[in-house]
Amino acid sequence: MKLQPRQQILEIWQATARTSFQDGKWIWGGRDSSNSISDAEQLLCLMTPAAGPAVFKLDRPDETSDDVLRALRGLGDSVEIPRLLIRILTEYMERYSAADGTPVFAGEEYFQPPPGVPELSDTLRTMDVVDSFSTSVALSLSTIGFLRVFREVIKREDLRREVEALEALASKRLSAAMVGLLRSFTVSVFDAHSPEGRALCRTANQSGVPERQIIEDLRRALREINARLRDVTIGSGAGIAEDLDNPNRLFECGWSWGIVRKAPAIVTSEQVGEQREGVAQAAPYLYFTVVALDGIAALFSERTRLLGLLNEEQTRLAQALQLRWDLTQSYWSTIATFGSGRWPLEDIPWRTTDRAESDYFSLLVTSIVVQDLVRRRAPDAALSRVGQVLNELANRSRITRRPFELNDPALPMHSPGVRIDLFGADGDTETTLRWTVSDFAPLLLQRTVRIAGLMRDTERRGALLGLADDVWDHLQLRRIAGEPGTDLWDQPGNVFSQLPSISDHPSWYYTRRVVECLVTAADVVGSPPLRNERLAELAGDLLSEADHRFDQELLRGSTEAGPAMRSTLQSARATLRRAREIVADHPGTAFVLVSEVLRDLDRLAAARSDLSGGL
């Protein structure tokens, strides 16, 4: 893989430090005005790697790598960097808290007015949004984890008090974000013969079977999910499962764009502040569903569990979210891979039940399927089918293919992006907003690297890593060249001449997603190498032969020979011991080690033969 995640992350860190910290002050905002999402994404450009692979750790000053310190020298030395992060993170937590201490999750400038409306009212701009909930989960967990480790090396009492105050703020924001996600989950039930039902049947029906049969097959495939929806007892989406007893009903589940209209308040002992009334349409939005799933996954990650980042009440809330996570993953994966022939996922572009279609929606569904395949430890055949979809999406999006000279319909997906209409309950046009997403390329790279890391077949893995390199080459070209966002993202006009040049201020929305790709790549690189069964068998056979020939040399009394022969046998003994230790996990390396032993033993045998012939 040409992509070198360590070097690239360090370059981004250096650029982030240079852009964000000037004259001893942290500069909030970038291309987008400062808001709860953009500012969190700016911080996550630093905190996501720091909470990931150990080589990027910042929470133990004595163990911080020299190249990390060089990249972040604009923020200070190994002792000053953690203290500065504490100050900046505290400023963020306080900045996005209301006067009564309630955490704020407003979309603000990320919300856009619909056509014909010049600007949004303050009421609409300050509505809570799922993207902010999810981003806050990621930032709060990384902050609490950072503080838990850093606290162990603190000796100053004033700094310890700062750490405790920040942890309390981060924990409160985490709890409030989890409550927001519980109140944004929804199950949309509709008649199988309604426009939504017909759209779902059309997506699932890749074999042309009669509509009545496809409805029955869908209800049968979704039977277990339908039954488990009855376990949803708190938050929005509770009590809806009874509507599905009707055999003519189908459903979708996932997350709306914000707190659902009439969503009940969550009873919790956590101090989360005011639970605002919801206004969002009680229907899942594919983009916000994927965003929510990604954020929730961090709540039950290995790091969260090992560091004990959740208290008892937060664990209860996380369990409720995990149930929704499992149901949503299973639902969308079932729909995307429905049937025995071509998958609906392979029928590009994906069509939603409100009859919108886009290659971006196909990529979003692919994201969910990848997560489900990871959970189910799917075979290479299933992973390869998803890989082929990703390759096709790379072609169609003009990442690996030349665009049209004029009016290429794929380019608006990169800039300005895919526009999503956000409706209030019952399609209330008074609360209609727009949301624009333009993260196609980094999302494609992240899913490609993730699938490649799961592949056991070396040829298929190599093909996907080749695709990942092509997508990374594309992203490299989209880096900003001018100040103040040098070496950050995004400038799509660098690649697509038809697109106008954008401001050289960094997009933290886009840069954060590139950072997440690189962290995923670092995890794949840091994982154990693939174990090839044929190679393992061959290495085992060679080891058996080497052991046998070594025993023969001992039987002949070679250890009583001269110092050169004794040295050779001692080296062979140590090498064989090492080969036995690693043959299960690293058969290729064991193969090489054993080959060296066999070569040395053969030289001894050849020398003995020459000596016997001479006599």
pLDDT in tens, 63-102: 999 999 999 999 999 999 999 999 999 999 999 999 999 9
Q: What is the pLDDT of residue 55?
A: 87
Alpha helices in 248-379, H assignment, sequence order: 286-297, 302-307, 312-336, 359-376
The residues that bridge with 22 in the sheet, in sequence order, are 25
Q: Are residues 419 and 562 in the same domain?
A: no
463: in domain: yes
Shared domain for 451 and 547, answered yes or no, is no
Q: Lowest mean pLDDT of 11-15, 102-106, 110-114, name the range.
A: 110-114
Contact yes or no for 332/289 (Cβ under 8 A): yes
Output the domain CATH number for residue 117. 1.50.10.20
Whether residue 359 is found in the same domain as residue 421:
yes
Rounded Cα gap, residues 572 and 552, in angstroms: 13
Portion of the chain with pLDDT greater than 90, in percent = 70
Name the domain boundary from 507, 526, 545.
526
Q: Is 130 inside a domain boundary?
A: yes
What is the three-state SS of 308-344? CCCCHHHHHHHHHHHHHHHHHHHHHHHHHCCCCCCCH
Does residue 37 share a domain with residue 69?
Answer: yes
pLDDT band at 239 (very low <50, low <70, confident <90, very high): low
Claim to verify: residue 69 and residue 166 sit in the same structural domain: yes
Please check whether residue 216 lies inside any domain of the structure: no
Q: Which domain holds residue 541?
A: 534-614
Most confident of 270-274, 395-399, 523-527: 395-399
In a domain, 299, yes or no: yes
> Which residue, 526, 554, 584, sits at the end of a domain?
526
Q: Taking residues 561-582, what's their average pLDDT?
A: 85
Amino acid identity at 349: P
Q: 108 lies in a domain?
A: yes
Where is pLDDT greater, at 325 or 539?
Answer: 325
Q: Please, which residues have CB within 8 angstroms of residue 520's CB and are 6 or more apart in sequence?
A: 446, 449, 450, 453
In this structure, the answer to whether residues 480 and 581 fall within a common structural domain is no
Report yes or no on 237 lying in a domain. Answer: no
Q: Does a cis peptide bond (omega within 30 degrees of 0) precede residue 416?
A: yes
Tens-place pLDDT, residues 453-466:
888 888 888 899 99
426 plus 538 within the same structural domain: no
- Residue 610 has a pLDDT of 66
pLDDT in tens, 367-425: 899 888 877 777 888 899 999 999 999 999 999 999 998 889 999 999 999 999 999 85
pLDDT band (50, 70, 90) for residue 615: very low
- Tell me the average pLDDT across 429-442: 86
- Both 53 and 105 in a single domain? yes
- 575 plus 604 within the same structural domain: yes
pLDDT at 426 over 70: no
Question: 441 in a domain, yes or no?
Answer: yes
Indicate whether 427 pLDDT > 80.
Answer: no
Query: Are residues 403 and 468 located together in one domain of the fold?
Result: yes
Per-residue pLDDT tens digits for 176-190: 999 999 999 999 999
Looking at the structure, tell me whether residues 271 and 165 fall in a common domain: yes
The vertex-158 CA angle with 155 and 162, nearest 5°, equals 105
Average pLDDT, the chain: 91
Distance, in Å, from the CA atom of 389 to the CA atom of 399, rounded to the nearest integer, reads: 14
pLDDT at position 559 over 80: no
pLDDT tens, position by position, 474-521: 999 999 999 999 999 999 999 999 999 888 999 999 999 999 999 999
Q: Which amino acid is at 119?
A: E
Amino acid at 411: L
Task: State which of 526, 550, 569 marks the end of a domain.
Answer: 526
- 551 in a structural domain: yes
399 lies in the same domain as 539: no
What pLDDT score was predicted for residue 612? 60
Q: What's the domain count of the chain? A: 2
**Closest of 382, 380, 348 to residue 364, by C-alpha:** 348
Give Rg (Cα) of the chain.
28
